[in-house]
Amino acid sequence: MIRGVGIDLLDISRIERPMKSRRFRERVFTVGELEYLSARGAESAAGLFCAKEAIAKAMGVSVMKILKTVEITHAGDGRPVVLTPENISISITHTATTAAAVAVWF
């Protein structure tokens, strides 16, 4: 049974400046996510941020309440996987200018 669905879209240029701030990065991303992002660009950061927003929307809560409790990693085949909370499936995509994510809470 599906309990909620969320979607988010972000212009990548809107995250480029905040990502330069250590405070922002540490407030939004987990240690594991920061390690993943250290070798990637703003597109990946925007995608993870969108995923967290989509998860919050699917669960009907404020994204500020779940930023550090949601952890997203990637499977060996590249699929994004939500470690916490459980029972969430996500899909993340981006172009050169826009990132998007969809979350399903079941």
Q: What is the pLDDT of residue 10?
A: 98
Please, what is the Cα angle at 23 between 40 and 88, to 5 degrees? 60
Domain enclosing residue 30, as ranges: 4-105
Backbone angles phi, psi at 75, to 5 degrees: -70, 170
pLDDT < 50 positions in the chain = none
Tell me what pLDDT residue 45 has. 98
- For the CA atoms of the chain, what is the radius of gyration? 13
Please report the pLDDT score of residue 14 as a whole number.
97
pLDDT of residue 92: 98
**pLDDT confidence of residue 61:** 96
Q: What is the CATH number of the domain that holds 68?
A: 3.90.470.20
With a CB cutoff of 8 Å and minimum separation 6, the contacts of 67 are: 27, 28, 52
Number of domain units in the chain = 1
